[in-house]
């Protein structure tokens, strides 16, 4: 019964995407660990971490597409949930350092010793255990989103006003986390990680495992998002996006639908941030910057809003381009990003996936029309 329900809620595109992600999760670590460095198919360790970062960003873009593409909530603050998930993971990784820090304090992280903190703040308790930190990755951004959404959606704040409020939220958090007295490392953030789950975070096998975990987690959340948007709940979300007042008139509690998908999306973004941090080795208040959230919206727009798979493609493609441009032509990267957004807005309003889908349907329609029976003369 459950298997049949899952199959009904999934389409061929989702199955292909999940299969590709699972293949990548196995292939990239294998090419990194099993082939010698001089082999033409060998994937260097730095590339494994870079690809893992791309997949983390893809999960963040997926979370934005879920609320913007299907519920019509243009969020300019999802970087806040991404950063909070990253800080939760960073707190766990900092507690794993123990006495191996610069100041050899078994309890306090180095930045607390440097700032003359005498004891560990209460909100750091429990983060020496991954069993405690793992649910916090979901709960911390999820509770913030729940509180924010409860007031915003029940007050019927929509459109550009909601977008501005989400941007103000992430900007306020950025300013707060820059303060040294917050207990999160201030401007420098959290870094110099040693272990994760008892494994050295710098060795190739650990980095390969982190990449595989990121790809698998992206596949899982893609399945969740696909199941959701193909269900009756997803159809109501589309109704809210296209005609909110009419959907409300039909008797649906629009604010409840928005609140659920908003909170779920924030939790997805938190997981993306938690997977991002051990692969890049640092988390600081710069991740709260509103520009990061705006850039995520650009990824979704480039890939194709409301397609799910487009969010993944957009995030990976834009970030790959960013890596190439910042290495080859660093002074032109911002111009390239701005130009890309202008081109997509003017010529590809449905993004890459949406435009390709329209072209495919346009080519297929004449064939379908020719196969239809013609009326007798």
Residues in the chain, how many? Answer: 377
pLDDT value at position 359?
80
Pairing state between β 190-191 and 199-200: unpaired
Instruction: Give tens-digit pLDDT for 285-326.
Output: 999 999 999 999 999 999 999 999 999 999 999 999 888 888
136: nearest Cα among 118, 123, 153 = 123
Q: Where residue 372 falls among pLDDT bands split at 50, 70, 90?
A: low
180: nearest Cα among 87, 115, 88 = 115
Q: Are 254 and 61 in contact (CB under 8 A)?
A: no
Residue 19 three-state SS: helix
72: left (phi over 0), alpha (psi -120 to 50) or beta: left
Whether the per-residue pLDDT at 4 is higher than 70: the answer is no
49: left (phi over 0), alpha (psi -120 to 50) or beta: alpha
Q: What's 190's DSSP letter?
A: E
Instruction: Give tens-digit pLDDT for 190-239.
Output: 999 999 999 999 999 999 999 999 999 999 999 999 999 999 999 999 99
| pLDDT, mean of residues 171-175 | 96
pLDDT value at position 356?
82
| pLDDT, mean of residues 10-39 | 92
Q: Where residue 61 falls among pLDDT bands split at 50, 70, 90?
A: very high
Quote the pTM value: 0.93
Q: What's 252's DSSP letter?
A: -
Helix ranges (H only) for 75-187 are 78-97, 110-114, 130-154, 159-177
Instruction: Give tens-digit pLDDT for 84-112.
Output: 999 999 999 999 998 998 999 999 999 99
Q: What is the largest CA-CA distance in the chain?
A: 94
Instruction: Give tens-digit pLDDT for 132-149.
Output: 999 999 999 999 999 999
pLDDT value at position 334?
77
Across all residues in the chain, what is the average pLDDT? 90
141: nearest Cα among 160, 169, 161, 168 = 169
- For residue 164, count other CB atoms closer than 10 A to its CB: 13
């Amino acid at each position: 019964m459950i298997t049949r329900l899952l199959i009904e809620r999934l389409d061929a595109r989702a199955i292909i995407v999940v299969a590709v992600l699972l293949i990548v999760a196995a292939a990239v670590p294998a090419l990194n660990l099993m082939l010698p460095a001089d082999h033409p198919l060998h994937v260097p360790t730095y590339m494994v971490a870079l690809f893992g970062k791309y997949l983390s960003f893809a999960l963040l873009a997926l979370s934005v597409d879920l609320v913007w593409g299907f519920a019509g909530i243009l969020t300019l603050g999802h970087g806040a949930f991404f950063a909070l998930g990253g800080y939760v993971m960073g707190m766990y990784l900092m507690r794993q350092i123990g006495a191996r820090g610069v100041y050899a304090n078994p309890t306090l992280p180095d930045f607390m010793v440097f700032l003359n903190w005498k004891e560990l703040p209460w909100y750091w308790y429990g983060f020496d255990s991954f069993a405690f930190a793992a649910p916090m990755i979901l709960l911390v951004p999820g509770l913030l989103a729940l509180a924010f959404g409860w007031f915003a959606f029940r007050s019927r704040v929509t459109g550009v006003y909601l977008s501005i409020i989400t941007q103000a939220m992430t900007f306020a958090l950025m300013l707060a986390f820059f303060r040294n007295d917050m207990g999160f490392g201030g401007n420098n953030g959290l870094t110099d990680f040693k272990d994760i789950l008892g494994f050295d975070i710098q060795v190739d096998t650990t980095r390969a495992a982190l990449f595989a975990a990121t790809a698998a987690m992206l596949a899982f959340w893609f399945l969740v998002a696909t199941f959701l948007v193909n269900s009756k709940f997803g159809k109501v979300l589309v109704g809210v996006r296209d005609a909110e007042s009419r959907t409300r008139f039909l008797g649906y509690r629009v604010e409840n639908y928005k609140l659920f998908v908003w909170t779920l999306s924030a939790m997805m973004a938190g997981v993306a941030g938690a997977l991002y941090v051990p692969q890049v080795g640092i988390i600081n208040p710069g991740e709260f910057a509103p520009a990061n959230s705006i850039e995520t919206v650009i990824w979704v727009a480039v890939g194709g809003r409301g397609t799910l798979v487009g969010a993944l493609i957009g995030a990976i493609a834009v970030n790959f381009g960013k890596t190439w441009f910042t290495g080859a032509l660093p002074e032109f990267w911002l111009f390239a990003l701005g130009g890309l957004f202008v081109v997509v807005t003017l010529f590809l309003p449905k993004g890459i996936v949406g435009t390709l889908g329209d072209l495919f349907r346009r080519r297929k329609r004449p064939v379908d029309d020719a196969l239809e029976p013609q009326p007798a003369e």
